[in-house]
Amino acid sequence: MPSLRKGISVLYVDDEPELSSLVATYLEREAADVHLSVETATNPRDALDLLSDAQDDFDCIVSDYEMPEMNGLELLRAVRATRPNLPFILYTGKGSEEVARDAFRVGATDYMQKTTGTDQYAVLANRVINAVSRNRAEEATERYDSVFEALETAVYVVDESGQFVSVDDVFVELIGYDRETILGNHVSSLSPDDEQKIRDELDRLFAKDGVETTRFETDVCTASKERIHCIATMSFKSFEGGTQRVVGTLHGVTEQRGQQERDQYLARLKDAVLDTSTTLMSAEVDEIGTKIHWTLQSLGEFADVDGAAVYSYDSDVDALQKTHEWTIDDQFPLPSTVRGDDWTWFLERLRCFENVRATDASTLSTSEPEPLCLPENGSFLALPMVSNWSLVGAVTLMSTTSRQWSDKEVSLFGTAADMLSYTLERQQRERQLRQQNERLEEFASVVSHDLRNPMNVVDGFMELARDTGDVSHLDRAMDALDRMDALVNDVLELARQGRTVGETAPVDLTGVVRRAWSAVETGEATLELDDDLATVSADASRLTQVFENLVRNAVEHGGDDVTISVGPLPQTPGFYVEDDGPGIPEADRSAVFEQGHTTSEDGSGFGLSIVEGIVEAHGWTIGVTEGSDGGARFEIITAPHTQTFSQPHAN
> What CATH number should be reported for the domain holding residue 505?
3.30.565.10
pLDDT of residue 148: 46
- pTM, to two decimals: 0.39
171 and 74 within one domain: no
Stretch 138-160: mean pLDDT, rounded? 66
Question: Would 178 be classed as within a structural domain?
Answer: yes
CA dist 37 and 297 (Å) reads 78
Question: Would 17 be classed as within a structural domain?
Answer: yes
51 and 174 within one domain: no
CATH code: domain of residue 94: 3.40.50.2300
131 and 183 within one domain: no
CA dist 348 and 568 (Å) reads 32
628 and 562 within one domain: yes
161 and 112 within one domain: no
Q: How many domains does the chain have?
A: 4
210 and 103 within one domain: no
Assess whether pLDDT exceeds 70 at residue 209. no
pLDDT of residue 651: 29
pLDDT of residue 295: 85
288-303 and 253-282 helices, crossing angle to 10°: 180
pLDDT of residue 412: 86
Higher-pLDDT residue of 356 and 74 is 74
Assess whether pLDDT exceeds 50 at residue 402. yes
Region class of 384: left (phi > 0), else alpha (psi between -120 and 50), else beta = beta
Handedness of CA 357, 358, 363, 364 (dihedral sign): positive
Q: Is residue 143 a contact partner of residue 157, using CB atoms and an 8 Å limit?
A: no
CATH code: domain of residue 386: 3.30.450.40
Stretch 1-19: mean pLDDT, rounded? 78
Assess whether pLDDT exceeds 80 at residue 444. no
Catalogue the E-assigned strands of 264-410. Answer: 307-314, 319-327, 337-339, 356-358, 379-387, 390-399
Domain boundary among 359, 392, 423: 423
pLDDT of residue 370: 42
Q: Which of 96, 88, 91 is nearest to 113 (CA)?
A: 91
Of the listed ranges 120-124, 290-294, 561-565, the least confidently predicted one is 290-294
List, for residues 161-206, the tens digit of each pLDDT value.
999 998 888 888 888 888 888 999 999 998 988 899 899 888 888 8
Question: Would 288 be classed as within a structural domain?
Answer: yes
155 and 132 within one domain: no
Domain boundary among 400, 423, 446: 423
Q: Is residue 481 a contact partner of residue 454, using CB atoms and an 8 Å limit?
A: yes
Stretch 606-621: mean pLDDT, rounded? 83
Question: Would 97 be classed as within a structural domain?
Answer: yes
168 and 137 within one domain: no
Assess whether pLDDT exceeds 70 at residue 621. yes
pLDDT of residue 285: 76
Question: Would 432 be classed as within a structural domain?
Answer: no
Higher-pLDDT residue of 358 and 332 is 358
CA dist 171 and 190 (Å) reads 12
Question: Would 92 be classed as within a structural domain?
Answer: yes
pLDDT of residue 25: 92
Higher-pLDDT residue of 241 and 441 is 441
pLDDT of residue 366: 44
Q: What is the mean pLDDT of the chain?
A: 79
Of the listed ranges 58-72, 277-291, 406-420, 515-529, the least confidently predicted one is 277-291
Q: Is residue 306 a contact partner of residue 327, using CB atoms and an 8 Å limit?
A: yes
* pLDDT tier at 640, thresholds 50, 70, 90: low
Let me know the angle formed at the C-alpha of 596 by 593 and 601, rounded to the nearest 5 degrees: 110
Question: Would 430 be classed as within a structural domain?
Answer: no
* Burial annotation 74-93 (CB, 10 A radius, 16+ → b, else e): ebbebbeeeeeebbbbbbbe
* pLDDT tier at 63, thresholds 50, 70, 90: very high
Question: Would 485 be classed as within a structural domain?
Answer: no
Assess whether pLDDT exceeds 50 at residue 645. no
* pLDDT tier at 603, thresholds 50, 70, 90: very low
Could you list the residue range(s) of the whole structural domain that residue 614 is in? 499-637
303 and 382 within one domain: yes
pLDDT of residue 636: 94
Stretch 627-643: mean pLDDT, rounded? 78
409 and 294 within one domain: yes
Higher-pLDDT residue of 585 and 379 is 585
Q: Rounded to an integer, what is the distance from CA 531 to the centroid of its chain?
A: 44
Higher-pLDDT residue of 39 and 230 is 39
223 and 287 within one domain: no
pLDDT of residue 545: 81
Of the listed ranges 22-31, 75-84, 373-382, 586-595, the least confidently predicted one is 373-382
* pLDDT tier at 350, thresholds 50, 70, 90: confident
Higher-pLDDT residue of 413 and 237 is 413
Assess whether pLDDT exceeds 60 at residue 543. yes
Assess whether pLDDT exceeds 70 at residue 6. no
pLDDT of residue 186: 93
Domain boundary among 141, 172, 205: 141
Assess whether pLDDT exceeds 80 at residue 562. yes
Assess whether pLDDT exceeds 60 at residue 2. no
Assess whether pLDDT exceeds 80 at residue 257. no
CA dist 279 and 326 (Å) reads 17
Q: Is residue 553 a contact partner of residue 607, using CB atoms and an 8 Å limit?
A: yes
Using CA atoms, how far residue 469 sits from 221, 263, 462, 465, in Å, is 112, 94, 10, 5
pLDDT of residue 55: 56
pLDDT of residue 103: 82
158 and 137 within one domain: no
Higher-pLDDT residue of 498 and 330 is 330
pLDDT of residue 496: 56
pLDDT of residue 296: 86
CATH code: domain of residue 206: 3.30.450.20
Q: Is 234 helix (H, G, I), strand (E, B) or coil?
A: strand
Of all residues in the chain, the percent with pLDDT exceeding 70 is 80
